[in-house]
């Protein structure tokens, strides 16, 4: 079992940079990565799974994958909104059951930058669209992680590679 295994929970608004951070972490470190959006897209293509798709169903699958990977001794980073203390606590409890610590990585990105990225996405379609209703719900529901959640902050204007090398150095390939 790997001694430095840990669950990293990404938390931030849509278009705050969670998926970009996850991709770079995947490329530069040994941390296993799980993305809610990627799993959703994968299951959407599977006729046997498409009719089952819901937030709850995907969450159940992801929770099991996180538990399995932690149990196998891997560190895991999970990309989703993780927008409430309850959601982040649920994930922390999965780590506790596996005797692994957890850390929340908060992507601190100003709302005007997020809105600009969202607008750009409507042109590029680099990721799925988030309609106005769901975007507004996300903004209104989001609770910034609290200090007692073992929070590490990534600010939108930081150099991504340098941040990873500084904060996740023990996991670099």
pLDDT of res. 2: 60
- Whole-model pTM? 0.93
Q: What is the pLDDT of residues 35-75, one digit of tens each?
A: 999 998 888 888 887 778 888 999 999 999 999 999 999 99
What's the token pair of residue 132?
A: 């106005």
Structure tokens at 166: 């500084």
Give the residue, 50 or 4, on which the prediction is more confident.
4
Whether residue 32 contacts residue 78, with contact meaning beta carbons closer than 8 Å, is answered with: no
pLDDT of 47 reads 80
Spell out the CATH class of 7-165: alpha beta
Return mean pLDDT, the chain: 93
Query: What pLDDT score does 100 carry?
Result: 97
Extract the tokens encoding 45. Answer: 């293509």
């Amino acid at each position: 079992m790997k001694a430095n295994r840990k669950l990293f929970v990404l938390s931030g608004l849509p278009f705050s940079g969670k998926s970009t951070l996850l991709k770079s972490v995947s490329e530069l470190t040994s941390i296993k990565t799980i993305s809610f959006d990627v799993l959703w897209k994968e299951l959407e293509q599977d006729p046997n799974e498409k009719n089952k798709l819901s937030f709850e169903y995907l969450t159940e699958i992801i929770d099991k994958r996180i538990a399995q990977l932690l149990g196998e001794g891997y560190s895991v980073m999970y990309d989703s909104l993780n927008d409430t203390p309850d959601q982040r606590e649920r994930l922390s409890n999965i780590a506790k059951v596996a005797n692994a610590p957890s850390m929340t990585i908060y992507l601190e990105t100003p709302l005007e930058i997020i809105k600009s990225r969202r607008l750009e996405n409507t042109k590029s379609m680099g990721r799925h669209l988030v309609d106005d209703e769901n975007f507004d719900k996300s903004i209104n529901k989001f609770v910034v992680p609290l200090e007692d959640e073992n929070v590490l902050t990534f600010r939108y204007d930081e150099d991504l590679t340098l941040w990873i090398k500084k904060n996740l150095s023990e996991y670099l390939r």
